[in-house]
Chains A and B, each alone.
Chain A
Amino acid sequence: MSNQSYDRQNPAYYALLVALVVMAIGPIYLMLVTSLKLNVDIMSDSSSLFFMPTLRNYETALCDFLWYEPEHLRRCDPTFGRALVNSLIIGLVSTAITLVFGTMAAYALVRFRFMGRDVVSIWTLMMRMVPPAVLLVPVFGIWTFQFGFDGTRGGIILVYVALNLPFVIWILQSFIVQVPIQLEEAARMDGAGPFQVFFLVVLPLIKPGIAAASIFTFRVAWNEFLLANALADRSSRTVPVTIVNSLTEFDIDWGVIMATGMLLAIPPIIFTFVASRQIITGMTAGAVKG
């Protein structure tokens, strides 16, 4: 592809492109810059271009994990550090469970003809649109009064798995359909059982789909606020919950809040740069065919 020729465009076209890029990433850049400023610099009226970048806000947020004691802090507030650990555990565990269960279900829906198959696919499609706000009341009631695991990480993980499964099943179906069935038949001829066929033949072939699905799942679990807010107690709060809790009407410590926001934004940003092709595939799957 190296000798592919590109069309030459007029300057206005490139100007539009630059403007769009600035608009798209401007706010994110602004957040990064603010997180590197002292509050004096944030509040000052003078131009925001010249300031001494400092990591102090990050030190404040992450003081729990530092091997030294930041000198500007009198007391270390471990709230954010704890929330970061919770978010990581909840995100990773719920993604892993969703993917294992989701691929198996998607495989069954594509490859086997069985009673109730159509009903199941229609329902997974329907469930895709259930917003967290709708689950707020029942999940709070059931988790608190019936299952008794409100305030635990397990409870939050269970909701996230359920919330993500329909989407994961739906997106993986479109990848599994493309696996040539002859491969599976050949494996079965060689004496592989259904589970061996699935884990040794199908799974390796749908890696791109799994990558897309896991990014979407992790993103939902990592970013979600409402249900985590309703279910978590002090020890199991996630990062979004702590950020909203520290937003008060007046006297917001913008530097530290922007630093925590940046830390929350970093994993999705990394995913975007590493796997933008898979993400776009995931977004366009279903809407655009081929």
Chain B
Amino acid sequence: MTHEVAASSQPFVMDTAFWTATAIFLLAYAAIISEKIHKTIIAIFGAGLILVFKILQQHEAFHIEEFGIDWNVIFLLISMMVIINLMRPTGVFEYIAIKSAKWGKGEPFRIMAIFAVVTAVLSAFLDNVTTVLLITPVTLLIADALEVDPIPYLISCALASNIGGTATLIGDPPNIMIASKAQLDFMAFIYHLAPIVVVIMVFYLFVIKFIWGKKLSTREDLKQRIMAMDEREAIKDPAMLKKSLFVLAVVLTGFVFHGMLHFQPATVALFGAGLLLLLSKTHEPHHILAEVEWPTIFFFMGLFIIVGGVVKVGLIKWMSMQILELTQGNMFATSMVVMWFSAFASAIVDNIPYVATMNPLIVDMARQLWPNLSGTQLLQHPDLMPLWWSLALGACLGGNGSAIGASANVIVVGMSEKAGRKISFMKFMAYGMPIMIMTVIISTIYVWLRYYVLKV
């Protein structure tokens, strides 16, 4: 902790290091947006540059929380991926999806609505990419069975996954990063974000009913194809399924109580991953570990170092001063700027680098507002909390704004194209952008009402 205080109280100067770090940061952002080079390569190379130019010492990048890699985020992600990778072969996700389709009784819109809810709930507990990878194949199968256009199903799933992911600490990478930075626990997200996500979901279901409800129809004999499916056939490994559900219950219980018990979320997840690996009795952990999405993990690690570089040279501090100047220290105005800017920024840029940048910015803002405070007193100052929630809501919901706004959207668009049904950038936006704006308006009212009027 002494490192943090000492480093951040340094007045910053716009020297060579400042401009070098700023240039690396801006070029990395530009390269990520251009999508000419894979984003993971950019992040790793950018991190290499930050170290080679001695913006950060290697020790700072690897071991100092403020400037370097946030291992809490990294291990939480890896552990959750390991748990899901072990669960997948049991067939539980196929079971859930087929069961949902049967609840839908073969009615096209009913199935769409149920899939949206299931996707949102799964996304709240798994990462969004995993969820859409599990839901879309079944969606395509169901659309083929009913001989209906799969595109509305795919788009509605992607949007629902970004909405659902907003609800919990582990639902979407921005929340994982925010939780780690602000030392917020799982239940804080449940209290502050889950209620509004439920409200947003209800509105969302009405909207998709309005958009697609009347357009989807099928024949009676085709509905029988769905009703004839036996979801029990999906379960391939009942013994492993029991173990997985047990570990999942342990992990979720751990998340509920981690704040009380003073465990970090990554500790809970890592314990769960270790336990399930042990119970699985696998002799080939390399298969399970190889399936971890290492490119995503390295993308995070590289970004943390790049952002750490611009934090150290003071760019982030400078940016936070600009925002405070703009809003003149009015916290409601600042929250709104953060939420709406985050929403539109996340529609264009990957929300992971965006939140990686905004996190230290908000901390810097807090330091300017309350220079005498530190630790959780500073990070969780009552006046600062609405800012974290606004950032989470804006960054997560903003992903719906465009086809590239969230990884879930990119995957769904890719799968649709593979199935011979291209979703153009504009087509996605025609649905995504208005829905994003609607959800952010609802969030705006929520933040205003809850934190500035009712103050609960």
Asked whether A and B interact, the reply is no
Give chain B's interface residues, CB within 8 Å of chain A. Answer: none
